[in-house]
Amino acid sequence: PEVAVPQLLERLKDSGPFSLVDHSLGGLVALEALRRAPELPVSRVVCLGSPLRGSGTARSLSDHGWGLALGRSSELLLDGLPDWQGRAKVGLIAGSVPHGLGSLLGALDDVSDGTVALAETQLPGLADHCVVRTSHSGLVVSPDAARQTAHFLRHGQFDHSRDAAAA
């Protein structure tokens, strides 16, 4: 984050207002940037499969000697973020199809998208949270995730009438 967060802050500081949509680590970077600079003109953030409470998959990689593979963002991935208290409304879309690296490593025992456990996506202070039936990588191309993202950006909450069918 020592490179990505300052770059994001620089891009956001002199214009706006903005809404952000981020996948996985991108959600951690975006919320860390907003935590460091709460005055930024960002009104809404949608995180797709972001391990906001830290990543068991990252911990498993680190425990098995692959910590360097986490790069400069290892601290964010391992520790996650504090409870959200920023001005921006943040919603998180999690996946429920367990196909991914975390499943292969045996790092995930609970409901997951294959890379991030559902519990790792649930951060106190979020405006809303929903689950769609797709994998971690699938979140970026899922029609259900796209519909939920658009709904959150317009209304500040997800369309929970779709939850039963999507999850």
Residues 115 and 129: beta-carbon distance below 8 Å: no
Q: Is residue 130 included in any domain, yes or no?
A: yes
Residue at 152 is within a domain: yes
**pLDDT value at 108 more than 80:** no
Q: Which residue blocks in 64-118 are alpha helix, DSSP H?
A: 74-79, 101-105
Mean pLDDT of 76-104: 87
2 inside domain: no
Q: Is the pLDDT of residue 164 over 50?
A: no
CB 98 within 8 A of CB 138: no
| pLDDT at residue 58, as a whole number | 81
Residue 133 falls inside a structural domain: yes
pLDDT surpassing 70 at residue 54: yes
Q: How far is CA 138 from CA 84, 132, 157, 165, in A?
A: 26, 10, 21, 17
Reported as type and span, the H/E element at residue 163 is: helix 163-166
Q: Is 9 inside any structural domain? A: no
Residue 125 belongs to what domain range?
A: 18-35+42-166
Q: How far apart are CA 119 and CA 86, in angstroms?
A: 21
Does residue 10 lie in a domain region?
Answer: no
Banded model confidence at residue 167, pLDDT cuts 50, 70, 90: low
Domain annotation covers residue 12: no
Whether 55 shows a pLDDT value over 70: the answer reads yes
Structurally, how many domains does the chain consist of? 1
pLDDT above 70 as % of the chain: 84
Of the given ranges (31-40, 61-70, 156-165), which has the lowest mean pLDDT? Answer: 61-70
Q: At 130, is the secondary structure helix, strand, or coil?
A: strand
Helix axes of 25-36 and 4-12: crossing angle, nearest 10 degrees: 60
pLDDT of amino acid 144: 97
Q: What is the pLDDT of residue 72?
A: 73
Structure tokens belonging to residue 46: 């949608």
Q: Judge whether 149 lies within some domain.
A: yes
